[in-house]
Amino acid sequence: MSLHPEIVEAVRRAIEEDIGAGDVTSAACVAADRGAAGRFLSREPMVVAGVELLPLIFEMRGGVAELRVEKSDGAQAADGATIAFVRGRARTLLECERVALNFLQRLSGVATLARLFVDRVDGTGCRVLDTRKTTPGLRRLEKMAAAAGGATNHRMGLFDAVLIKNNHITAAGGVRQALERTAGLTLRVEIEVRTLAEMREALDAGARHLLLDNLTPAEAAEFIREIGGRATVELSGGITLDSVRAYAETGADFVSAGAITHSARAMDISFRLEGL
């Protein structure tokens, strides 16, 4: 499997950070020719993400004799399920354990939380978006995990879509001025509006994608009724698992939740070594 260079570099940095010049404990305690097998086990129900990194992690430390993935990215894993099985040199398995677990636990946490958000809006026709509120250096991985959980990836960065926020509007001199400066761009253009007056100005200026930020569900529903299908609507701003259904039922096309990446907890996954 071919992985993006950013992902390969993230794994390389993680290995260098943890293993450095070598695992001195394993080198001291375990014979160099000792073989072993191990299992990555879920310790609670979860949506799995990050297993596609396991071959890369082990390859960077010399490879293993066997690696069998039992739960692919996006799969549900029950408490006690085997996520992956690996067999090779005991030293290799031991030195890669923490790096592998750190990625699996973090990314499975993102995927699991994404799935919870997606399940809450089921049947509304509204899609859940992730955001740029990611761990520095791990955005591509965390967005892959969000997608594994069923969320829709929003823009990857500042370079692949135009999203005019309130500070851009201020700097441009107003809603209409900001939109006029995007004329002719081939990228998708979305603009944040905070009041009915801004919304009307944006629509009059030709906006086709609106971001409504920090509104209550009742306020959002009022905006959406007036928009009347003239533009797609994204809702954002402090949307939680408890509130996302109410926002989705306003008729919005999208809800975005930064919590999917900035507040996901690490899932409980362990690695159990078995001698050969």
> Of 23, 190, 192, 234, which one is the catalytic site residue?
192
Residue 99 pLDDT > 70? yes
Residue 71 annotated among the catalytic residues of the structure: no
Residue 1 pLDDT > 80? no
Do 107 and 134 lie in a common domain?
no
**Inter-CA distances, 204 with 118, 200, 207, Å:** 33, 6, 7
Pairing of strands 76-77, 46-47: antiparallel
Do 271 and 250 lie in a common domain?
no
> Of 39, 43, 87, 133, which one is the catalytic site residue?
133
pLDDT of residue 59: 97
Q: How many domains does the chain have?
A: 2
Do 167 and 270 lie in a common domain?
no
Do 25 and 88 lie in a common domain?
yes
Identify the domain containing residue 231 by its residue range. 118-262
Percent with pLDDT over 90 in the chain:
97
Do 141 and 209 lie in a common domain?
yes
Residue 2 pLDDT > 70? no
Q: pLDDT, tens digit, for every residue of 244-258?
A: 999 999 999 999 999
> Of 165, 176, 181, 200, which one is the catalytic site residue?
165
Percent with pLDDT over 70 in the chain:
99
Model's pTM, two decimal places?
A: 0.95
Do 58 and 70 lie in a common domain?
yes
- With cut-offs at 50, 70 and 90, classify the pLDDT of residue 275: confident
Residue 143 annotated among the catalytic residues of the structure: no
Token pair, residue 127, equals 């899609």
Q: Cα(43)–Cα(267) distance, rounded to whole angstroms?
A: 8
**Inter-CA distances, 35 with 24, 83, 93, Å:** 18, 21, 9
Residue 112 pLDDT > 60? yes
pLDDT of residue 40: 98
Q: pLDDT, tens digit, for every residue of 126-170?
A: 999 999 999 999 999 999 999 999 999 999 999 999 999 999 999
Do 134 and 258 lie in a common domain?
yes
Do 255 and 134 lie in a common domain?
yes
> Of 18, 70, 119, 213, which one is the catalytic site residue?
213
Token pair, residue 15, equals 């290995």
Do 39 and 150 lie in a common domain?
no
Q: What is the CATH number of the domain that holds 32?
A: 3.90.1170.20
Do 143 and 257 lie in a common domain?
yes
- With cut-offs at 50, 70 and 90, classify the pLDDT of residue 17: very high
Q: What is the CATH number of the domain that holds 220?
A: 3.20.20.70
Do 54 and 105 lie in a common domain?
yes
pLDDT of residue 31: 96
Do 96 and 144 lie in a common domain?
no
Residue 268 annotated among the catalytic residues of the structure: no
Q: What are phi and psi of 92, to 5 degrees?
A: -65, -45
